[in-house]
Amino acid sequence: MTDLTISGLARDGGVGVETVRYYQRRGLLETPPDAGGVRRYGEADRRRLRFIRSAQTAGFTLEQIGELLALDAGQDRARARELAQARLVELDARIAELEGARTALRRLARACGDGGKGPCPIITAFEGHG
């Protein structure tokens, strides 16, 4: 799939046209030359946009994505691996936090379902964290 307009590229990448323009302003995507009033995007642009979206899904920031894109051009695998490992540490911390929250919420839900007297443990637990 080549010779896409900006709207075709955006649609194919699952983003809006303004998102494509934003990525261009940030230097993540090239802005092709104007050819008769229409800019045309190719397969490389399509792959790059999909890479950006996939990297965002993995939790990389746009700055980190820019660095990964630059590393790809330079073939710096060590730095790319370092960025990925740092992201894994962040994800592991977030997962541990979410698992702790899930455990606490399960405990509160069980306590709420025990049918005891007084206010609901779920409500009182969250009231103190306002």
User: What residue spans of the chain are helical by DSSP H?
Assistant: 6-13, 17-25, 43-57, 62-74, 77-113, 121-127
Question: Is residue 2 scored above 70 in pLDDT?
Answer: no
Q: What is the pLDDT of residue 101?
A: 93
Q: What is the pLDDT of residue 25?
A: 96
pLDDT tens track for 49-103 = 999 999 999 989 999 999 988 887 667 788 888 988 999 999 999 999 999 999 9
- The mean pLDDT of 99-112, rounded to a whole number, is 90
Within 8 A by CB and 6+ apart from 87, the residues are: 58, 59, 60, 64
The answer, as to whether pTM is greater than 0.75, is: no
